[in-house]
Amino acid sequence: MLARNRILVALKRTNQYPILGSRLLSSSAYLYNTSVDKKGQQPAQPVGSDVEPPKRKPLSRIAIGGSTNQSQRDSGGSIEFATWKAAALLVTLGGTLYYFFAKEKRRLEIEKEAEANRGYGKPLVGGPFKLVDFNGNEFTQENLKGKFSIIYFGFSHCPDICPDELDKLSVWLDELKKRGIELQPIFITCDPARDPPNVLKEYLSEFHPDLIGLTGDYNAVKHACKQYRVYFSTPPSLKPGQDYLVDHSIFFYLMDPEGQFIDALGRQYDEKTGAEKIQEHVKAFVPKEEREKRKDKWYSFLFN
């Protein structure tokens, strides 16, 4: 009897649950496809309709108050990169302008120095002279024109100073040639009694092939030394054949292509600084005709 009752209960449950389950499924499907918006929106199509339901717009995955999206991050990165590029360009441009103006300022200083050394009216250093070179050819101040020249006064029997200075001059000449600058190097003896042309030629060949030796009689050499404000002296009461030393000024005289003095380089200039100083003068050189024209310009104060 008990077993029969259990079977009847099971049959009742089987008949009731499918109906309840189908009702629940129908209700949920209806709710899913029917809009509950009370603001006048069109209701969705019921299940089984031929019309395809509208597609839903996907929701954003970024929480309220969260970070920006990828496109915003990319835009910010581009702005930051452009800012750094602008800063780098500004620094480069500023450095270039500073270098240019500093270089131009130095050039103007060298030009003013050369103009002051030339002097106004009669030059303070330099002037007419007439000597002979070590090949026996006449050499005057006219031979200085058309090129930069550097002049040194010495003598072949000098034990140490002249050889040291001529060695330094040789280094300058070679270094300046590498930089495209050609100089006419001239050696004028202060001891014409012991430095005839053949002696000078042999002596100078030991230093540099471009060196030109000049000599002459005593009065001609003395006059040339006076023109360049060079001091020299020989000991008094010399006997024939007696060895002696000649005191003289120790300077290199730099002359421009117009034959005018522009600077004197003393022993404070070494192999490096001397070449740099000469190069500065060569780069800053302005012909006399152009210098005269600038005097009437509004910017002439820059060169005074």
Residues in binding site for Cu cation: 158, 162, 248
For 55, 77, 190, 270, the CA distances from 168, given in Å and listed in that order, are: 92, 59, 19, 7
Enumerate long-range contacts of 142-145, CB under 8 Å, 24 or more apart: 142/259, 144/184, 144/255, 144/259, 145/257, 145/258, 145/259
Which residue reads 């003896």 in tokens?
189
Task: Read off the amino acid at residue 300.
Answer: S
For 85, 135, 141, 143, 215, the CA distances from 138, given in Å and listed in that order, are: 65, 9, 10, 9, 10
Annotated binding-site residue numbers: 158, 162, 248
Quote the DSSP letter at residue 44.
Answer: P
Ramachandran class of 3: left when φ > 0, alpha when ψ lies in -120 to 50, beta otherwise: alpha
CA dist 72 and 78 (Å) reads: 10
Name the phi and psi angles at 281, rounded to 5. Answer: -65, -40
